[in-house]
């Protein structure tokens, strides 16, 4: 079945990033109205951070070959959700110049040696099929463009870590200076971010056929 994995990370129920990610999903549904939605709301239901048994299993090739019972269950579930998705939509705030910890907890579970990437002398090589990833970002300050007044460690970090497992078709759609937005100008800012979506990438990846999963 066609599937879109929709992830939100904001702890606020009515946040700018949530509204933006919902709008992105609606845009994709215009192209694939029959697509189903798999939902992960890390703001409302955060993942646990990596536990001792998970870290121990990943610590060496020997323990990976004989993992501690149950240590990889959550990781496997989350990886399979990514594999089943033809497109991924992430709504996230920028917290202290980078990703929030709830999103980092997800990343720590889906980046797994021998499962989603191979370690080579040249670096990590992704093992997952590429698919479009749309990342709606809400930032209280300005991190991109001529008026940027703070560093951006979020977009290069996500490009690197998601690229290392094979997800290279990323589109970053930011709403900036949200600390200065009110009800009157929040909607135009969101529409401006949406206007930057390049839906041609979906055609390049045979969307909606790409939504059929692995």
The CATH number assigned to the domain holding 116 equals: 3.40.50.360
Read off the pLDDT of residues 48-57 as tens digits, 9 standing for 90 and up.
Answer: 998 899 988 8
- Predicted TM-score (pTM) of the model is 0.91
Q: What are phi and psi of 212, to 5 degrees?
A: -80, -5
What is the pLDDT, as a whole number, of residue 98?
A: 97
Read off the pLDDT of residues 142-151 as tens digits, 9 standing for 90 and up.
Answer: 999 989 999 9
Give me the domain span that covers residue 121: 3-212
Read off the pLDDT of residues 21-30 as tens digits, 9 standing for 90 and up.
Answer: 999 999 999 8
- The count of domains in the chain is 1
Contact 200, 132 (CB under 8 A): no
149-155 own/partner pairs: CB under 8 Å, 24+ apart: 150/97, 151/97, 152/94, 152/97, 153/97, 153/98, 154/92, 154/94, 154/97, 154/98, 154/99
């Amino acid at each position: 079945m066609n599937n879109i994995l929709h992830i939100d990370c904001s702890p606020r129920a009515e946040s700018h990033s949530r509204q933006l990610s919902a709008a992105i999903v609606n845009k994709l549904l215009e192209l694939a109205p029959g697509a189903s939605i798999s939902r992960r709301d890390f703001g409302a239901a955060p993942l646990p951070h990596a536990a001792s048994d998970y870290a121990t299993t990943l610590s060496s090739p020997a323990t990976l070959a004989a993992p501690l019972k149950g240590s990889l269950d959550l990781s496997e579930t989350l990886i399979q959700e990514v594999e089943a998705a033809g497109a991924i939509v992430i709504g996230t705030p920028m917290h202290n110049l980078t990703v929030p910890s709830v999103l980092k907890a997800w990343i720590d579970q889906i980046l797994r040696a021998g499962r989603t990437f191979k370690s080579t002398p040249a670096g990590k090589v992704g093992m997952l099929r590429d698919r479009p990833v749309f990342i709606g970002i809400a930032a209280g300050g300005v991190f991109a463009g001529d008026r940027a007044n703070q560093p951006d460690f979020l977009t290069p970090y996500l490009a690197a870590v998601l690229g290392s497992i094979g997800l290279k078709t990323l589109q970053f759609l930011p709403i900036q200076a949200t600390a200065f937005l009110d009800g009157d100008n929040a909607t135009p800012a969101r529409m401006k971010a949406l206007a930057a979506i390049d839906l041609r990438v979906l055609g390049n990846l045979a969307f909606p056929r790409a939504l059929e999963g692995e």
